[in-house]
Every structure is written in structure tokens, then in C-alpha cells.
Amino acid sequence: MDYGFFDDASREYVITRPDTPLPWLNYLGEDDFFGLCTNTGGGYTFWKDARLRRLTRYRYNNIPLDSGGRYLYVNDGGSVWNPGWKPVKAKLDRYECRVGLGYERITGEKDGLEIDLTFFIPQGRNEELWKVRVTNKSKVRKTPKLFSFQEFCFYEALNDMTNYQRTWSIGEVEVESGAIYHKTEYRERRNHYALFACTRPVAGFDTDRDAFVGVHEGLHEARAPFAGRCTNSKAFGWNPVGAHEVDLDLEPGASEDFAFVLAYVDQGEAPKFERPGVIDKSKGREVLARWSRPGAVDAALAELRAFWDGLLANFQAELPDADANRMLNVWNQYQCMATFNLSRAASLYETGIGRGMGFRDSNQDILGFVHMIPGRARERILDIAATQLSDGTCFHQYQPLTKKGNAEVGGDFYDDHLWLVLSTCAYVKETGDASILEEPVGYADRDYAKGPDGRRRHADGTPAESLLDHLETSVAYTMKKRGPHGLPLIGHADWNDCLNLNCFSKEPNESFQCAGDVAGSKAESVMIAGLFLKAAAEMSGLYAFLQRPVAAKRMEAARAEMLAAVESQAWDGEWYRRAYDAEGRPVGSRDCDEGRIFIESQAWCALGGAGADDATDAEGRPAASRGRARKALESVHRELYTEEGIVLQQPAYTRYRLELGEVSSYPPGVKENAGIFCHNNTWIHLALCELGEGDRALEYYRSICPSAKQAKIETYRSEPYVYAQMVAGRDAPCFGEAKNSWLTGTAAWTFVALSQGILGVKPDYEGLRVDPCIARSWKGFKATRRFRGATYEIEVRNPQGASKGVKRVLIDGDELGPAKAEAGKGVVLPLFPAGSAHRVVVELGD
Ligand code: GLC
Ligand code: GLC
């Protein structure tokens, strides 16, 4: 079955029928104001924080699944329908949804009436526009009536959907010439309201849900659109909504353009009321006036498109693989923006209430975002670091609005702090801006005051701790918190949230992640050990760049100590073990009956440099560990790889295991219990690239690439334009079905795997490194990369059918001396003045 296609030239995915296998989502907004928008208009809008500032309502997991959102009803001579098909679901003569970068354009046509509806959030505005064009394509005059509809949310989303004894008594609105001001709670502590208005005169409005929809009616049979008129209802309590009636009169061939505006209006310090009980609407009126100016809406949409063109221009490539090409150039980068902004907070799977910004998640998201807007990455790194405690542990999550750690979830996930090292080093490599390391950040458990320079200070006047201090604390914490095998303790869990080795939960009412006592436990994680190897290597590289050789040596020594523990305690014969449980028994070992091999430790030990091909012992002789990384990846191929991706572990757990926690709670083949967790697949792609396995890296990349799933979309079901967190593994009856699309670390890491691993275009301290690892069948590729202000137009040629190895480099026609090419690590292209462009030819071979 066909649901759509990529329109590569327009950077759009075109959905051609509304009844997609699952609702397919897009996001509006890329700064402070956001909307979730499905291909039938479902979703909601919020300012900064989906829990604390939600403007419109959405009922998750409703029946039908995706109902509630931005709806436009048409009553065309008694025939009622929606251009986005829902909620009435009348049969349309034509439906099309163009999923665009920051906008969703839905076109519906019936009986010669066409409605072209584009939802978007203009750049830098806390406003959402519904741009509408209605065209009479028939041969007769038409007088259709249009009805806008959305339901207001009382800002705090959890309260809104649980506390009706209060919320059904607080709703208040004001209406001025059809412009609806939702002012619930404004009379007390809020100094913000929502405005929903139309840029053209309206024939009527409704603000009371019962009046517009009815008490016993569903949205598909809402009273007002079927009756053909709004009732001008004024909500008092119950459920305020925003609905307008627009009456049109269109000659054959005529069309009319206008827009609806949903705005979050912050009064700031301005007086709240114009007179007692009447809100000051001056800012709201300004908003409406702005979008009522002819051409303003179109100009804002054009500006949004130009913004994305500019952003994506930082990295563009021409690859011999159409799927990889469009994912890299458009969709993967677009998804990285969403994960950067929203972490794991608000999608069709995350309700915007449960999780805010994740410490480990957001650090990883930065890896796929930093090349787009480094300044925002900088700010985010500092925000995240401020949720670390002085002992090195971190708040696992924080609320974007308050930037304070969430106490309910707490900390003690002993991988969290190490991801901060990776994000910070990625930032410095991208920008060369080492000043971030000196920024005063402070720890979440200490008190600071602001000094005269605006910077945080201790009570004694000394500046708060720097970001670099946080990185040192992170490294020191892992070195300190080690178990009987010399490997890092795991705490509540490591990257694998479900490997809960200290949980021992028999109580269905407790959270696997929070239950259990981590103090005094000896459960250890090999994955954290591998991650530490990488983080320590990154730190030593950073210190080398800072010309602090002593500190660099200190990091190398810590790394060597951890490496020795990994090689002597974690090798299982064919692969690296995953962990040691609280009793010291191995997890992910051939000695286990289930869960014998896990993916994460193979990836991170290899990426951390364990089991290297050239490993030597203290005397310089070949070490026993030589080649283990290669062997571990071969085991991954044999034991875990499928054509839909690599499963997380094998054999899947068939019963619940007290000593392992949530990982064994899932039915075999899904989530962490042997599902294909796309996120960690990408680490294997990178590890393969380190070892020069270009054919396999591409094959694996394609196995999880959503664009490549279109032919099997009935099984895959999720959006073909973004990655999903998980695809069901071969133990599941629905092998190949994707779930939890959009907000996943897969976005950032796939971008890293493809751009830095396979294409080998890697930012480094001294310049842009180029070290491709491609399929031998590729004759080459082109990539344009903006780096520190200069543009590198890189052409990679592969005349000998190699995978890896840079043979020759020409910069602007001149051969680069051999001194610049490091054996096995490609070439570092020099830095160039900002604004300049340079042609680089890289020839692979030996
Ligand atoms: C989810 C979480 C992430 C975790 C992963 C594996 O994606 O957001 O933090 O690492 O699952 O359990
Ligand atoms: C569950 C999920 C895991 C996720 C976690 C977040 O454990 O299986 O993927 O990271 O919830 O709390």
C-alpha cells in the first residue's frame, strides 16, 4: 500500500491518503513555541514546556487514536467535511499532506471546493498560524461556511486532565470582535493568556464546548458545523474552546486567503487589566494586526523556508544512495532539531508530562545539532551541567521552564555525567570556542549569588565552578565509583534504562528506575566502562588542545587503568560482557541461559579503543586483547543482526528476573528485551567505520533507515521520514514494526554515524578531519560542510573501490603535504578564514 512519497526537491514528504497506518507526526516551531501536528491536523501547542505552558488540548491515546487538534470544518451547502479528513471523515475527492520543515500543509478537496491549509509557527514568534486558501474550482457560485475549532488547555497539562473538580469551575474568556482571549487563571497568578483569532471578519464564534460540540456529541458530529452556525457562546467554567465561523461567497474560479492565529501572549511587567475584570488586550491586538497585513503570512512562511535552507546548508551531500542522501540532507537534521528542543518530552508517545529534558538524552542530542546552531548548543550544555551535583551525579531529568532537576526521578544513573564530556568536546571541536570551559556553572546542590558582573558566585565572593570543573568531576566520579572488578558501578541503570541491577522489585506499583537501593551495591556496567574509555580519550584530546600535557597524561592514565579492567574482567571469549549483577554474576555472557550477548558493550568497548588491532602490552608486545573489537563486532553480526536492524540482546528474556529488572519485564522482542533499539545500532555503525568495515556499515545503516522502509510500510507503520526509537525484533510477532518515532537519540547518533563515520567528515580541534569509510561499490561522493565560518566543498573519489584510507588530498588544486595525513585517521583540513570557500578533493586508496 502506498501512503506517500518524498518530494526531495521541495524538502517535503507528501502523504497521499489520510488513513496512514499510524498517525504521522510533524513538529511546528523550533525555538520557544511548539506544536505537534499530525497529517490530519491532530496535536496541540505549547510555549517552552509541554507540561507547564500547554495552550491547547490533546487527549493522548484517544479513540480514534489521534483525535483532538486544529480542526477546520466546512459546511458546503449542507455537506460537512474537513480538509484533513478528521474528525468528520467524509470521503474527500482529493487529500494531500505535505510534511515540511516546520510546517504542515494539508489540502482537501470535495465537490469542487478546495481548502489549502498550512500550519506553521513564524520565526521568533510565540504564535501559530493557520494559513487558509479556499478555492472554488467548480462551475457554480459557492457559499461555504468554515468553522475553526480547538480546545483550550489550562496551561498545566497534568492538572488540566486530572483535576476536574477545580478546572471545570475556572474557565474564563473574553471576546472582542470575534477575537477570543482565553484568560483562565489570569485573574490570579498568571500574566499570560492565549489568543485565537481570524485575520478576516467572522460571522460568529463559540467559546463554550458544549455549545459548539454538544455534551453527548463527538467531534465528528459537532453541532455548530452541522447546524451551519456558531452561537456566540461565552464560556464560564467547564471547557473553553476557540471556534470561529467564516462565511464565504465564491464565484467559480475565485479564491480567498486569510489566516487564523493562535498566540501565547505574555504581559510581562505590563499592567494586566484595562479595567477591573477586563484584560489588557493591547499586545493581543498587535499580534492580530501584524498577521492581518496583506502578505505578512506568506512572507513569514517564506522566511521559515529560508531559515531551514540556510541551516541545512551547513551540511549537504550528494551520495550514491537516495535514501541516505535525503535522510542526511533533510530529514535527519530536521529530526535533530526536534530532539534538541524537546528531548524526550512531547511526542505521540511522550505526553509532555512525564519527562522533561533528560541529562543523558539532551547531551547526546547536541551531537547531531551543534553544527546547526552552535550558540544554542552552548547554552544548553551550560543548562544541563547546572543540574549536576557536586559529587558528580546528576538529576536524570529537568523541566525546561524552570531548568531545575526533577526530584521525583532523582539521579544515580551512573552513565549520565559522562555524556556531558562528549557533548562539550563536540561543541569545542565544532566551534574552537574553549571559553565555554571557563563558564561558571555551579552545582545543583550548592547555593550561589549573582556577582556584580552577573556571574554566579559563592558566598565568599569566589566564582562558581566552571564547566571544566564539571567535566573533571564527571571523570573522577566514575573512577571513584567502581566495583569488585574495577569496573564502574551502574546505579539505577546506565544508558539502558531497563538494566536495573539494584532494583529487585516485586512491587508492581514502583518504578523500575527509581526503586532499589544503589548505596553499597556492587553491580557494575561494562557499557559505562567503554563509555568512560571514550570520555577519557576525549578529555585527553581536549587537554592536548588546551596545551595542558600534564592533565592530558592524567586522563590517559585513568583511561589505561579502566582499559586494563575491561580487558582482564569483561572479555567473555567472543564478545564483551554487559555487566556484573549485584551478586557479581556476569550479565551478557555465554554462561547465561538468556541475555548472553548485548549490543551496548560491544559498541562502546570498540569505540573506547578496547580490543584494538594494534593493542600492545606494557613491553610493547602484541597484547592478548588484540583484535577483540573486530571479534566482538563479528559476534554482533552473527548473533544480533537482522535485516531490520540489530537487536539489543539475545536470547530474549522469557521470564521476569528480579536481579535484572525492567529489561526482563518486556515481552521478548520489544524495547530493551531484544527489540531493535535503533539508537544503539548507530554506535555499531561507528565502530565498524573505525575498523574500516565500510560495506557492513552501509548495510547496517540501511537496515534501520526509515526512507528505505517505504516498500514495507504496512509492517513498519511509522513515519518513513524520521527514525523511531524501536523496531520490533525477531522474537516479536510483529517483527519490523516501528514504535516511538521522533524523540530518540537515534536522530543525533545516526547523523553522527553517517556524517562522521561513513562520510568521515569530522570536526576536530585543529581543523576539519576527513576520513571516510564507505561501501566499496561507491565511486565517491560530494559533501559541502560549513566549518568555523569557511565552506569546504569536498569531493571524495574512490577509483580503486576502497573502503577507507586517504591516499591523496588536493585543496584548491594544490596537493596537501603528507605530513598532514595521519596514518589510518584520514586527513585534517586546515582552518580557513570565515566566509571563504575551498574545493577539496580526497582520493581514497593505498
Ligand atoms: C530511552 C531513554 C534513554 C535511554 C534509552 C535506553 O530512549 O530516553 O535515556 O538511554 O531509552 O533505555
Ligand atoms: C522505560 C523504557 C525505556 C525508557 C524509560 C524511561 O524503561 O523501556 O526505554 O528509557 O522507560 O523512563
Residue tagged 556524517 (cell numbers): 755
Average pLDDT over every residue of 673-694: 98
pLDDT digits (tens, 9 = 90+) for 359-381: 999 999 999 999 999 999 999 99
Distance CA 807, CA 296 (A): 53
When pLDDT is cut at 50, 70 and 90, the band that residue 447 belongs to is: confident
The verdict on the CB of residue 492 being under 6 Å from ligand 1 is no
- pLDDT, residue 424, reads 98
CA of 679 to the centre of ligand 1 (A): 9
Q: How far apart are CA 524 and CA 501, in angstroms?
A: 9
Instruction: Residue 679: name the closest of 349, 388, 344, 380 by CA.
Output: 344
pLDDT for 820: 54
Residue from 66, 365, 497, 771 carrying the catalytic annotation:
497
The gap between the terminal CA atoms of the chain, to the nearest Å, is: 47
**Per-residue confidence band for 816, with pLDDT thresholds at 50, 70 and 90:** confident
pTM of the model: 0.97
Lowest-confidence region among 196-200, 513-517, 610-614: 513-517
Which of 396, 397, 409, 672 for a ligand 2 pocket mutation test, highest count of atoms within 8 Å of Cβ? 672
Predicted pLDDT of residue 825:
86
In the chain, the percentage of residues whose pLDDT exceeds 90 is: 93
Query: How many CB atoms are closer than 10 A to CB 817?
Result: 8
Candidate of 339, 343, 398, 497 to mutate for ligand 1, largest count of ligand atoms within 8 Å of Cβ: 497
The Cα 541–Cα 820 span in angstroms is: 18
Predicted confidence band of residue 837 (pLDDT cuts 50, 70, 90): very high
Over residues 452-458, the mean pLDDT reads 80
Number of the ligand closest to the Cα of 673: 2
Q: How confident is the model at residue 450 (pLDDT cuts 50, 70, 90)?
A: confident
Return the amino acid letter for 707: S
Distance CA 577, CA 570 (A): 5
With contact defined as beta carbons under 8 Å apart, do 714 and 21 qualify? yes
Cβ-based neighbours of 620, under 8 Å, separated by 6 or more: none
600 lines ligand 2 (CB under 6 A): no
Whether residue 585 is predicted with pLDDT greater than 60 in this model: the reply is yes
Peptide bond into 651 cis (omega under 30): yes
Distances (CA, A) of 74 to 7, 83, 128, 134, 244: 29, 8, 21, 10, 12
* pLDDT the model gives residue 410: 85
Cβ of 362 less than 6 Å from ligand 1: no
Cis-peptide into 488, omega within 30 deg: no
Q: Residue 724 C-alpha to ligand 1 middle, in angstroms?
A: 12
Could you tell me the sign of the dihedral formed by the alpha carbons of 548, 555, 745, 34, in that order?
A: negative
- Cβ of 358 below 6 Å from ligand 1: yes
Higher-pLDDT residue of 823, 513: 513
- What letter would DSSP give residue 616? B
d(CA 489, CA 519): 10
Determine the pLDDT at residue 66: 95
Q: Is 361 in the pocket of ligand 1 (CB under 6 A)?
A: yes
Could you tell me the distance, in angstroms and rounded to a whole number, from the CA of residue 599 to the centre of ligand 1?
Answer: 14
Between β-strands 192-198 and 179-182, what pairing exists: parallel, antiparallel or unpaired?
Answer: antiparallel
Q: Is ligand 2 within 6 A of the CB of residue 513?
A: yes
Residue 818 has pLDDT above 70, yes or no: no
Mean pLDDT, residues 105-130: 98
The full DSSP string for 406-449 is -TTT---BTTHHHHHHHHHHHHHHHH--GGGGGSB---TTS--E
| Cα distance between residue 305 and residue 131, in whole Å | 15
Please determine, for residue 285, whether its predicted confidence score (pLDDT) is greater than 60: yes
Q: What is the pLDDT of residues 760-769, one digit of tens each?
A: 999 999 999 9
Find the 768 Cα to ligand 1 centroid distance in Å: 31
Enclosing H/E stretch for 377: helix 374-385
496 lines ligand 1 (CB under 6 A): yes
DSSP of 133-178: EEEE-SSS-B--EEEEEEEEEEESHHHHTT-HHHHTTT-BEEEETT
Between CA 832 and CA 816 the distance in angstroms is 14
Considering only CA atoms, give the Rg of the chain.
Answer: 28
Q: Is the CB of 126 under 6 A from ligand 2?
A: no
**Predicted pLDDT at 822:** 59
| Residue in the block written with cell 526503586 | 515
Tell me the mean pLDDT in the region 46-54.
Answer: 96
476 Cα–ligand 2 center, Å: 27
Cβ 786 under 6 angstroms from ligand 2: no
Lookup: cell for 786: 560549513
Quickly tell me which residue has 468554515 as its cell. Answer: 146
Contacts of 472 (CB under 8 A, 6+ apart): none
pLDDT value, residue 1:
62
What mean pLDDT do residues 95-124 have? 98
Distance in angstroms (rounded) separating the CA atoms of residues 229 and 735: 49
| Chain CA centroid to CA 90, Å | 34
Residue 409's pLDDT is what?
Answer: 84
- In this predicted structure, the answer to whether residue 101 has a pLDDT above a threshold of 90 is yes
Judged against a pLDDT cut of 80, whether residue 212 lies above it is answered with yes
For ligand 1, atom 11: residue with the closest CA: 497
Query: Closest ligand 1 atom to the C-alpha of 495?
Result: 10
C-alpha cell of residue 751: 547523523
Nearest Cα residue to 518 out of 703, 685, 661, 709: 661
- Residue-wise pLDDT for 308-321, tens only, equals 999 999 999 999 99
What integer best gives the mean pLDDT of the chain? 96
420 CA → ligand 2 middle, Å? 20
* pLDDT digit string, tens, across residues 300-309: 999 999 999 9
Q: What pLDDT score was predicted for residue 823? A: 57
- Closest ligand 1 atom to the C-alpha of 744? 7
**Residue 430 pLDDT:** 98
Q: Which of 355, 495, 512, 601 has most ligand 1 atoms within 8 Å of its beta carbon, as the pocket-test mutant?
A: 495
pLDDT tens figures, 232-262 = 999 999 999 999 999 999 999 999 999 999 9
The x, y and z cell numbers of residue 672, run together, are 530493551
Average pLDDT (207-221) is 98
441: Cα within 13 Å, side-chain hemisphere? 29
Cis omega (within 30 of 0) for bond into 586: no
392 Cα to the center of ligand 1, angstroms: 20
Cα 498 to middle of ligand 1, angstroms: 9
Mean pLDDT, to the nearest integer, of 176-190?
97
CB 370 within 8 A of CB 337: no
Q: How far is the CA of 525 from the centre of ligand 1 (A)?
A: 16
Instruction: Find the length of the chain.
Output: 846
Q: Which ligand is nearest to the CA of 345?
A: 1
Element (H, E) at 842: strand 837-844
Contact 142, 58 (CB under 8 A): no
The yes-or-no verdict on residue 452 having pLDDT over 90 is: no
Q: What is the mean pLDDT of residues 334-358?
A: 94
Distance (Å, whole) CA 146 – CA 133: 11
| Cell of residue 457, nine digits | 558566585
Residue pLDDT, tens place only, 703-722: 999 999 999 999 999 999 99
Q: Of 243-257, 352-366, 469-483, 747-761, which gets the smallest average pLDDT?
A: 352-366
Angle at 427 between CA 840 and CA 373, to 5 degrees: 80
- CB count in 10 Å sphere of residue 630: 18
671 lines ligand 2 (CB under 6 A): yes
- Predicted confidence at residue 325, as pLDDT, reads 97
497 CB within 6 A, ligand 2: yes
**Closest Cα to atom 6 of ligand 1:** 496
Picking from 235, 201, 202, 208, the residue whose alpha carbon sits closest to that of residue 223 is 208
Residue nearest to atom 7 of ligand 1 (CA): 744
- 172 pocket-lining for ligand 2 (C-beta < 6 Å): no
Does residue 447 have an active-site annotation? no
User: Beta strands 837-844 and 790-797: pairing type?
Assistant: parallel
Nearest to 421 by CA among 577, 555, 527: 555
Number of Cβ within 10 Å of residue 425's Cβ equals 22
Nearest residue to 677 via CA among 697, 707, 649, 653: 649
List b or e across 431-465, with b for residues whose CB sees 16 or more CB atoms inside 10 angstroms.
bbeeebbebbbbbbeeebeeeeeeebbbeeeebbb
Residue 291 CB partners (closer than 8 Å, separation 6+): 127, 129, 199, 259, 261, 297
Q: Is 150 in the pocket of ligand 1 (CB under 6 A)?
A: no
Q: Is the CB of 494 under 6 A from ligand 1?
A: no
pLDDT digits (tens, 9 = 90+) for 775-798: 999 999 999 999 999 999 999 999
**Nearest atom in ligand 1 to 496's CA:** 12
Determine the distance separating the centroid of ligand 2 and the alpha carbon of 513, expressed in angstroms. 8
Q: What span, in angstroms and rounded, lies between the C-alpha atoms of 417 and 695?
A: 34
